[in-house]
Amino acid sequence: MQEYHTALCLSVYLVTFLMGLPANAVAFYTFSKKVRQKPTPIDILLLNLTISDLLFLLFLPFKMQEVTDNMTWSLPYILCPLSGFFFYMTIYVSTFFLTAVSVERYLGVAFPIQHSLKRRPLYAVVASVFIWIFSVLHLSIVIIMSYYNPPQDSLSSTTNSSNIYEFSNVSISDGDNVVSSRNVCYEDFSEKQLAILLPVRLELCLVLFCVPFLICSFCYINFIRILSGLPHIGRRRRLRAIGLALGTLLVFAFCFGPYNVSHIVGFITRKNPDWRDMTLLCSTFNACLDPFIFYFSSSAVRGTLGSMLQGARIKLAKCHIHWSPWKGMSEPQIDKGPKQAEMNAI
């Protein structure tokens, strides 16, 4: 069972990293260039969503190493709260920016004239700064709980009391040195730690997931309703916009829903659900699903990707033409005529 869990987690992390990193890098380049030239609110929001995904992906290798070591932390302990903070913080940053994009789209369709008159990139910048600060303050609990170790504390039911020095964040005195024994990262918690952590998780679920999801659902449902009744919108453009709205809602529910449900279950049962780690795999997929949203949301991203593919085809064609004469020189002289004819045809 442990081998299956390790293989599954590594597979999901690796696929997400290999697919998400180049795709988000392309999106980051595109939105950065567009924001410098002619910024629009939605481009600023999507740029911040891309930054969130890139931060998540940059710290994902630490989770891979943790899974490889059978969920023990063999790296310097300072990297534990740091990687955990960015891992969990970017999950909720993504929910906020996906919600902000939905609000921007809804206002543009529901109130086109008023929204175009009041549309300012500065508003998107202010909203982005607020989202980052709000998320950082809320998810600082990850760093706090990594170092919070109340004295004379009993361990949670998931941990045997005989292993207190293995799983607790304790300091063992060794002469003049203090050796820190921390073998797990943000996994096993004592009763007093859970008494603080579980209510905070419930608040994260309600404020940072449920409220944004309700707003996002309201915006996109009305966006689809209004867009379906507009006669001057082309059928292809309408279907793409509706598909993007439905796809975003599905990504929102699939990637972030199970993980936040685990917060509710944990608060009710007063312990970490055994399946909580599996829900994090769904959240991990968001980093490689967001680029699809970028592609269908922005013509600039589609243009950049098209230019890159066209450039790759041209380079491959040049390489083929460059190496074909050398290939012909290695052939027997009798075959030179047909090979030359093939080159001329190219």
Helices (H), the chain: 2-37, 41-68, 79-110, 112-118, 121-139, 141-147, 164-167, 191-205, 211-228, 235-269, 276-297, 299-329, 336-345
Predicted confidence at residue 155, as pLDDT, reads 40
Could you report the per-residue pLDDT of 44-65, keeping only the tens digit for each? 999 999 999 999 999 999 999 9
Residue recorded with tokens 């780690």: 277
**Distant-in-sequence, close-in-space partners of 329: CB < 8 Å, separation ≥ 6:** none
Residue-level pLDDT at 323: 64
List Cα–Cα distances, 36 to 10, 21, 28, 40, 299, in angstroms.
38, 22, 12, 10, 16
CB contact at 8 A, 75 and 62: yes
Banded model confidence at residue 187, pLDDT cuts 50, 70, 90: confident
In this structure, the strands spanning 170-174 and 177-181 are antiparallel
Q: Which two tokens stand for residue 301?
A: 């991203």
Closest by Cα among 291, 310, 311 to 301? 291
User: Do residues 218 and 105 lie in contact, with contact meaning Cβ atoms separated by under 8 Å?
Assistant: no
Model confidence pLDDT, tens digit, residues 275-285: 998 999 999 99
Q: Given pLDDT bands bounded at 50, 70 and 90, which one contains residue 121?
A: very high
Fold adopted by 2-151+191-297: Rhopdopsin 7-helix transmembrane proteins (1.20.1070)
Q: What are the domain boundaries of the chain?
A: 2-151+191-297, 314-345
Q: Mean pLDDT across the chain, nearest whole number?
A: 82
Alpha carbons 45 and 215: distance in angstroms, whole number: 16
Q: What is the pLDDT of residue 339?
A: 45
Percent of the residues in the chain that have a pLDDT greater than 90, as a whole number: 51
Q: What is the pLDDT confidence band of residue 151, given thresholds at 50, 70 and 90?
A: low
